[in-house]
Amino acid sequence: MERLKDHFITSNLEYSEGVVSRFIQEFSATNVLSANLLITALGIYSLKINGIQVENQLYAPGFTYYPKHLYFQNYNIQPYLLDGINVIEVYVAQGWYCGRFTHENKTQIYGENIAVSWILDLTLKNGSTFSIASDETVLETTNEYLYAGFYDGEIVDRTRPFEIIGQAKIYTGVLPDNFELTTIPVLQQDLIDVVDVIEVNDGVILDFGQNFAGYVCINSALMNNETIAIKHGEVLYPEKELYVRNLRRAKAQIVFTKGNQPELYKPKFTYMGFRFIHISGCVYKDDLIHAYAIHSDMHRTGYFISANRMVQRLYENQIWSQKSNYIEVPTDCPQRDERMGYTGDGQAFAHTGSYNYDTKQFWRKVLKDITYSQQDNTEGYVGPTIPAEGPKGIGYMSMLGWGNAITIIPEMLYNQYGDESYMSENYEAMKRHAEAEIRKLNDQFLWIGINLGDWLAPGKDVAWFAMNNNPVSNTFIINDFRVIADYAKRHELHDDYERYHNYYINSQGGYVKTFLDENGVIQGDYQGAYVLALQYVLKDHPLRSKVMANFVKHVKAYGLQTGFFATEYLLPLLIEANEPKLAYDILLNDSNPGWMYQVNRGATTTWERWDAILEDGSVNETVISSDNMVSFNHYAFGSVGKFYYEYILGIKSLSPGFQKLTIQPWIDERLMAVSGAYESSQGLIEVAWKIVDSKYEMHINVPIASTIILPNNETKEVPCGTHAFRGIYKNNR
Ligand code: BGC
């Protein structure tokens, strides 16, 4: 919206971290027929008209690659207007734009200070029209926010008077070229109630029973004192103590002083990742506090219920980790001084996430963050975090497995939703990324260097992967070539097909020659490399069966040993290897490393590290990259969710967008009974099965004619509708 570009105003105050600006503008209007307000900010704004908050979008206008792209919003404010004098009141916090952000705790990343712009277009009942915009008539005042920032939280004092600072300053700094109406807002979602109140020496700890991203809501009428202070944490450790060391430099606190008017106070310019809060300053009583979870607004499309409580809890955990980390961008975690858009974490969980929720809008937005950021990378790579921190003067090598999100995610979206626009819109960006990789290849068509490998694989640290990552890292490059070649082939882009197919074949050849011996043993003989080679490199290669056999042997010998990237494919490959019992053994294993180990230790979201809590019950504080790195809410290992939909329920799409459907549930008596559903682009798919007296019973509802594969491998072609099957259950088919 070009008009907004002409009306940016900024603060009179020198930049200081955490400052919130308040702007007011009065106007007179009577008999208003329509009133539309366009608004955006460099920072985060909150808008009130005559004292009433207008927006329900959180952290508006949203997090974008500010050097090139900014969202704006459009509100009908007619219902808020009075005949006579009206007041537009806009608070602007620093947010991602110039507040403290990134694991390096930088400030002013995208600009020196906040700025905001609005235009109000009014039509009166007599037909006349006029507009008001942010300009020098706007006044800036002091306000109740003493501090606001994502990491440290908010300090709010409602008793503070509003004093005029002066007329707003006209903003003359740079603005991005692209202004766009928001497509997917972050909204307040689930209400979370207190489930336990724990008395401690210096106050009270409240347990919400669930780890999540969101904020508290304080009923000021129930405060027995002027000020309440709240600290947030994910776990209690040692017992009855809020563990905050994993928040690193994030203070994650709220300090709220009430005013004369009773209110329900909720922070506006921050959110936290927490399950527990510590309260001091006020006596806790029922209803003083509850909380809300937040996330980018998405429609839930996947459901799963199992009679096995552990299996069910793990499913819920990955859902909660998705909710907690789909906040504007695919964040790594919601609690510590990070909360950045990580491409690698994003791609590792994206497929699972696209079953749980309709993620089309989320990714369309994030793919823009990726491609705008990429345009400022002089080497053309997609970086590990997006939106990027600003134009890069010099190029940098993408972290392999991270930047490759640019091919993995559009292809996944195409397959899941049958919509090729994600591929076509990002095709040039994919090629740019692949060309940057090509420039780094050696004469074996491989990239040899230091990288992070299969991040956080058990027992393999950064130093080990620095020397041994190559059999993992190159799989991502080879897959990039395959994705681009496949697209080029479908669209008859002959030259592109030729180029990228050749790179695919050559680098596949180089990979086999360099990293595999004739018995299919991979260099370093580690699980992540087997998994990713099978997934990305050896689809139709003669060595596949030997490599598969070595992979199975490895799993039998060592159990689960995968990191962020290989975990998604571990159980599906075991099924392909005809080892369903082994797949379920791994799923259900409750020793470390294993999913049920986390569940057994009380996890309500998926952990960043398999052993975030060590076997002796202590928090794993082993330093990685010079920092405590133990988030209890990272979703990469939640990529097991895909196994729930595609194998436990057996819902498998055979052509993009579920146009061809197979249902092949893999039954295991340890799960007792399961049911679930996926709302595919073809319609609702439902599957339920249970085991009774060594017999299975299965109910299936399909929206289109489908193929059903029964546990005895019998294949049935069925029309759309519901179908029931019974048969003998034999363990380990
Ligand atoms: C993040 C990860 C990320 C990694 C890569 C960590 O600090 O939390 O999830 O992928 O860094 O460097």
Q: pLDDT tens digits for 272-323?
A: 999 999 999 999 999 999 999 999 999 999 999 999 999 999 999 999 999 9
- Would you state the pLDDT for residue 730? 79
**Residue 75 is inside which H or E element, if any?**
strand 69-76
Q: Cα dihedral sign for 527, 533, 536, 538?
A: negative
The two three-digit tokens of residue 715, written as one number: 């294949």
Q: Is 337 in the pocket of ligand 1 (CB under 6 A)?
A: no
pLDDT confidence band for 572 (50 / 70 / 90): very high
C-alpha of residue 698 to centroid of ligand 1, in Å: 41
For the chain, what percent of residues have pLDDT higher than 70? 99
Position of tokens 């680098």?
507
102: left (phi over 0), alpha (psi -120 to 50) or beta: left
Q: Which helix (H) or strand (E) holds 651?
A: strand 651-655
Q: Which atom of ligand 1 is nearest to the CA of 624?
A: 7
Does residue 30 surpass a pLDDT of 80?
yes
Atom 2 (ligand 1) nearest CA = 332
What does the pLDDT read at residue 395? 63
| Residue to mutate, 103, 339, 345, ligand 1, most ligand atoms under 8 Å from C-beta | 345
- Nearest partner of 55 among 233, 229, 188, judged by Cα: 188
* CB 332 less than 6 A from any atom of ligand 1: yes
The C-alpha atoms of residue 256 and residue 273 are separated, in whole angstroms, by: 19
* pLDDT (tens digit per residue) in 95-125: 999 999 999 999 999 999 999 999 999 999 9
pLDDT bin (cut points 50, 70, 90) of residue 391 is confident
Cβ–ligand 1 contact at 454 (below 6 Å): no
State which ligand 1 atom lies nearest to the alpha carbon of 103.
7
Is the CB of 338 within 6 Å of ligand 1? yes
Amino acid at 383: G
> What is the average pLDDT across 684-706?
96
Q: In the prediction, which pLDDT does 440 show?
A: 94
- Taking residues 583-601, report their average pLDDT: 98
- Looking from the CA of residue 629, the nearest atom of ligand 1 is 7
Q: How confident is the model at residue 731 (pLDDT cuts 50, 70, 90)?
A: low
Cα 363 to Cα 114, 137, 656, 726: the distances in Å are 27, 40, 17, 40
The secondary element (H helix, E strand) that includes residue 678 is strand 673-680
pLDDT digits (tens, 9 = 90+) for 628-665: 899 999 999 999 999 999 999 999 999 999 999 999 99
Question: Angle 494-515/470-490 helices, nearest 10 degrees?
Answer: 160
154 lines ligand 1 (CB under 6 A): no
> Measured from the CB, is residue 504 less than 6 Å from ligand 1?
no
Three-state DSSP at 386 gives strand
pLDDT above 90 for 128: yes
Distance 399 CA to ligand 1 centre (A): 11
Helix (H) or strand (E) holding 489: helix 470-490
Q: Which atom of ligand 1 is nearest to the CA of 634?
A: 9
Report the distance separating Cα 2 and Cα 546, nearest Å: 60
Instruction: Examine the pLDDT at 733 and tell me if it is beyond 50.
Output: no
pLDDT over 70 (residue 350): yes
Residue 90 CA to ligand 1 centre (angstroms) = 35
345 lines ligand 1 (CB under 6 A): yes
- Are 39 and 110 in contact by the 8 Å Cβ rule? The answer is no
Residue 329 confidence (pLDDT) above 80: yes
CA 439 to CA 503: how far, in whole Å? 12
Check whether the bond before 238 is cis (ω within 30° of 0): yes
Question: What is the DSSP-derived secondary structure letter of residue 558?
Answer: H
Give the SS3 label for residue 481.
helix
Residue pLDDT, tens place only, 167-223:
999 999 999 999 999 999 999 999 999 999 999 988 999 999 999 999 999 999 999
What does pTM read for this prediction? 0.97
pLDDT, residue 301, reads 98
The finding on whether 579 has its CB within 6 A of some atom of ligand 1 is no
Give 317 Cα–ligand 1 centroid separation in angstroms. 19
Report the chain's mean pLDDT, rounded to a whole number: 96
Q: Which of 523, 519, 524 is nearest to 549 (CA)?
A: 519
Q: Which of 332, 400, 402, 639 to mutate to test the pocket of ligand 1 (most atoms within 8 A of CB)?
A: 332
Tokens describing residue 50: 């005559």
C-alpha count within 13 angstroms, C-beta hemisphere, residue 97: 34
Average pLDDT value for residue range 348-374: 98
pLDDT per residue over 468-481, tens digit each?
999 999 999 999 99
